[in-house]
Amino acid sequence: MKDIVIAGYARSPFHLATKGNLAKVRPDDLAAHVVKGLIDRTGVNPDDIEDLILGCAFPEGEQGFNMARLVVLMAGLPISVAGTTVNRFCGSSMQAIHMAAGAIQMGAGDAFICAGVESMSRVPMSGFNPMPNPALCESMPAAYMSMGETAENVGREYQISREEQEVFAVASQQKAGDAQSQGRLADEIVPIPANGATIDADGCLRPTTNLEGLAGLKLAFDENGTVTAGTASPLTDGAAATLVCSAEYAKTNGLTAMARIASFAVSGCKPETMGLGPIFSSRKALERAGISATDLDVIEINEAFATQSIASIRDLELDASKVNLDGGAIAIGHPLGATGARITGKAAQVLQREGGRYALSTQCIGGGQGIATVLEAA
C-alpha cells in the first residue's frame, strides 16, 4: 500500500452570497485563482499533475459545462492536465480527495489537484430549474426536503434547545474571530481580484456575536422550531483546493507533506435527518484507520447547522475542545462544493500546527449522506 499525503492547501476568502465582495466574481474565475495560488505556493511541477478533480454542488450556469477542465485552462496549467467535475452536494470536494487517493493507490497518477467551488450568488441553491422526480416526491418527499427542515428534525430528535445551539454558534464565531485577528487564517487565503480591489480576508465572520443578539433573531424554518440564521451556516461564495500526491512523490520533489490520508468513508442515512451523516461515515472511517474517537487530536466538522454538529459530536463522543479550533462554517461560511476541501486541508494544517497525530474531517450531505476522512501526521 502506498502512503498518500496532502501536500498543500489554499482557499479563497469566503464571503456572503449576493451581498459579499465575491458576488460579482464568476465561480470558474474564483476556482482558477485558487488553483493557481496553490500551484505557486507548493512549487509542484504542473506537468506532473494527472487530473484536476473539482467539486461543485450545483454544476450549472457559470458552474456548468465541465468546469474542472475549463479551470485547468484558465489557471494556465499544461494542456496535458485533465479535469473532471464531481457532485456529492456538500461533500463534493472531499469526494475529490477520496477519488485522487484511490487513483494514486491504483498507480493511475502521482499528483492531483482536489478542489471545490460554489458561488451561491451566481447559481442559486437547488439551481435554476429544479425538476424533482414526481414518483419519488410522492413516495419519499424527504428526498427533496429543505436543509433547514432537516436541521429542525435533528434538533427535535436529539432534544437540542435553541439556547444550546446559540452557545455553540457564539463559540464558533469567537474561535474564528480569534483565528482571524491572530493571523491563523491569512496563510491559507489566496487573494482574489474583485470590483477593482483585492479581497484577501473572509467576510462572513461576526466575532462580536453574543447570546443576547442571537436570542432576538426570528426562527428561520419553522415557527415552532429552534433554528435561526445565527445557528446555521450562511449562503457563501468561495473556493478551496488541496494537493494530493503519493508520499514518495512529495519526498522526491521536495514538497512538504502536511498529513497522510489514513482512511475515508461515505455513508447513507435518512434524508429527513441528513445532518446525522457524519456519525455513520466517521465511525466507518475511524474503524478503517484502526483508531477510536479518543485518539483524535484535531476534528473539523462542517457546521451546516448547530443542531447537526452538536448531535454528531454527542453521538461520536468527540472531545469538543478539539473541534474546529479556528472556527467553523457558522462563522466562516459554507460554499457547498468547496467546504470538503477546506475542512480537510484545514485539518491537515491544524494537525501540523498543533503537533498532534490524528485528525478527522467530516460533513453531512443533503439527501441523506455523510463523508469523512481520517488523517495522520506525516
Q: Residues 15, 33, 98, 334: which is the catalytic one?
A: 334
Active site includes 98? no
Active site includes 90? yes
Question: What are the structural domains of the chain?
Answer: 4-123+235-377 (3.40.47.10)
Q: What is the pLDDT of residue 195?
A: 87
- Please say whether the beta carbons of 111 and 81 come within 8 A: no
Q: Residues 56, 114, 269, 364: which is the catalytic one?
A: 364
User: Crossing angle for the helix pair 277-289 and 306-316, nearest 10 degrees?
Assistant: 40
Q: What is d(CA 285, CA 24) in angstroms, rounded to the nearest whole number?
A: 38
pLDDT 10s digit of each residue in the chain, 378 long? 999 999 999 999 999 999 999 999 999 999 999 999 999 999 999 999 999 999 999 999 999 999 999 999 999 999 999 999 999 999 999 999 999 999 999 999 999 999 999 999 999 999 999 999 999 999 999 999 999 999 999 999 999 999 999 999 999 999 999 999 999 999 999 999 998 999 999 999 999 999 999 999 999 999 999 999 999 999 999 999 999 999 999 999 999 999 999 999 999 999 999 999 999 999 999 999 999 999 999 999 999 999 999 999 999 999 999 999 999 999 999 999 999 999 999 999 999 999 999 999 999 999 999 999 999 999
Three-state secondary-structure class, residue 151? helix
Active site includes 56? no
Q: Residues 56, 90, 204, 269: which is the catalytic one?
A: 90
User: Cell digits for 132?
Assistant: 424533482
- Please say whether the beta carbons of 340 and 95 come within 8 A: yes
pTM reported for the whole predicted model: 0.98
Which residues have C-beta within 8 Å of that of residue 16, sequence separation ≥ 6?
A: 203, 204, 234, 235, 236, 237, 333
Q: What is d(CA 53, CA 93) in angstroms, rounded to the nearest whole number?
A: 8
Amino acid identity at 100:
A
Which residues have C-beta within 8 Å of that of residue 269, sequence separation ≥ 6?
A: 276, 277, 279, 280, 368, 369, 370
- Please say whether the beta carbons of 154 and 276 come within 8 A: yes
Q: What is the pLDDT of residue 244?
A: 99
What is the secondary structure of 311-376 as a DSSP string?
A: HHHHHHT--GGGB-TT--HHHH---GGGHHHHHHHHHHHHHHHHT-SEEEEEEEETTTEEEEEEEE
Q: What is d(CA 311, CA 183) in angstroms, rounded to the nearest whole number?
A: 31
Chain-centroid distance of CA 283 in Å reads 19
